[in-house]
Chain A
Amino acid sequence: MDRLLELEGLFWESVVETLYIVAVTLGIGGVGGLVIGVTLYVTRKNGLLANAPVSIVLNLVVNFFRPIPFVIFIGAVQPLARWVVGVGIGNRAIIFALSLAAAFGISRIVEQNLVGVDPGVVEAARAMGAGRPRIILTVLIPEALGPLVLGYTFVFVALVDMSAIAGVIGGGGLGNFAIVYGYRQFNPVVTWVAVIAIVVIVQVAQFAGNRLARTILRR
Chain B
Amino acid sequence: MAVIELSDVSKVFGPTRRGERPVTAVDGVPLRVEAGQIAGIIGHSGAGKSTVVRLVNGLEKPSSGTVTVDGTTITGLPERRLRAVRLGIGMIFQQFNLFSSRTVWGNVAYPLRVAKVPTARHRERISELLHFVGLADRAHSYPDQLSGGQKQRVGIARALATSPKVLLADEATSALDPETTRDVLALLRKVNVELGVTIVVITHEMAVVRSIADRVVVMERGRVVEDGPAFDVFSQPAHPTTQRFVRTVVDDVPTGATLESLRANHSGRIVSLSYRDGSRPGSEVFAELISAGVGFELVHGGLADVRGRSFGTLTLALSGPDAAVDHAIGRLRDRAAVTEVA
Contact = CB atoms under 8 A, between A and B. Distances in A.
Q: Tell whether A pairs with B.
A: yes
Interface in A169-200: none
Nearest to A131: B83
A120 B99 contact: no
Interface string B45-86: 000000000000101000000000000000000011001111
Contacts of B85: 129
A145 B84 CA distance: 29
Nearest to B57: A127
Contacts of A125: 110, 114
Contact of B59 (A45, A127, A216, A218): A127
Contacts of A143: 99-101
Given A129-B111, A129-B115, A130-B114, A120 B95 contact: yes
B132 interface: no
A124 interface: yes
B87 A124 contact: no
B99 A127 contact: no
A45 B16 CA distance: 9
B79, B90, B96, B97, most chain A CB atoms within 10 A: B97
Nearest to B161: A128
Given A128-B111, A129-B114, A134-B114, A123 B93 contact: yes
Contacts of B80: 131
A126 interface: yes
Given A121-B99, A123-B59, A128 B84 contact: no
Given A129-B111, A129-B114, A121 B97 contact: yes
Contacts of A129: 83-87, 111, 114-115, 162
Interface residues of B, number: 31
A127 to B, nearest CB: 4
A123 B16 CA distance: 19
Given A128-B111, A129-B111, A134-B114, A142 B101 contact: yes
A193 to B, nearest CB: 42
Contacts of B199: none
Q: Is the interface of A mostly helix, strand, loop or mixed?
A: helix
A140 to B, nearest CB: 10
A116 to B, nearest CB: 12
A128 B93 contact: no
A118 B97 contact: yes
Contact of B97 (A120, A142, A145, A218): A120
Contact of A123 (B97, B110, B158, B162): B97
B114 A124 contact: no
A145 B100 CA distance: 11
A120, A123, A127, A145, most chain B CB atoms within 10 A: A127
A128 to B, nearest CB: 4
B292 to A, nearest CB: 61
B98 interface: yes
A139 interface: yes
B138 interface: no
B102 interface: yes
Contact of B86 (A128, A138, A145): A128
B161 to A, nearest CB: 8
Contacts of B144: 218
B296 interface: no
B11 to A, nearest CB: 15
B44 to A, nearest CB: 22
Interface of B: 16, 57, 59, 79-80, 83-87, 89-91, 93, 95-102, 110-111, 114-115, 142, 144, 158, 162, 168
14 contacts: A118-B97, A120-B97, A123-B59, A123-B97, A124-B93, A124-B98, A127-B89, A127-B168, A128-B91, A128-B114, A129-B85, A129-B111, A130-B114, A143-B101
